[in-house]
């Protein structure tokens, strides 16, 4: 199991487009993934779940990935957060 703290740093936070990118990224992996923020834990492969976090810019989230390809899945999500979901260019 891999856990990693992330900060939402794109201007609009985890809005629909950013959430869709996150879910699309994770769909390529077999591992399960959760995000925790504001006392809520959600399935990171669920658009509705991630949207319910209402994570705006600056929100701290904890990523937890568990499964056979957890290393690659976690790296892909970390990269997506670091690239600010390819927004704010």
29 within 8 A of 69, measured Cβ to Cβ: yes
> Does 15 participate in catalysis according to the annotation?
yes
Question: 52: part of which helix (H) or strand (E)?
Answer: helix 47-52
Up-side HSE of residue 22: CA atoms within 13 Å toward CB?
A: 30
Catalytic residue among 15, 21, 83, 84: 15
Contacts of 80 (CB under 8 A, 6+ apart): 21, 22, 25, 86
Residues with active-site annotation: 15
């Amino acid at each position: 199991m891999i856990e990693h703290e992330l900060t939402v740093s794109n201007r609009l936070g985890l809005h629909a487009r950013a959430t869709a990118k996150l879910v699309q990224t994770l769909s390529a992996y077999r591992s399960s993934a959760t995000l925790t923020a504001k006392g809520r834990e959600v399935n990171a492969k669920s658009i509705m779940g991630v949207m319910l976090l209402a994570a705006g810019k600056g929100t701290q989230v904890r990523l937890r990935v568990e499964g056979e390809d957890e290393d690659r899945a976690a790296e892909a999500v970390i990269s997506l957060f670091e690239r600010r979901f390819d927004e704010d260019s």
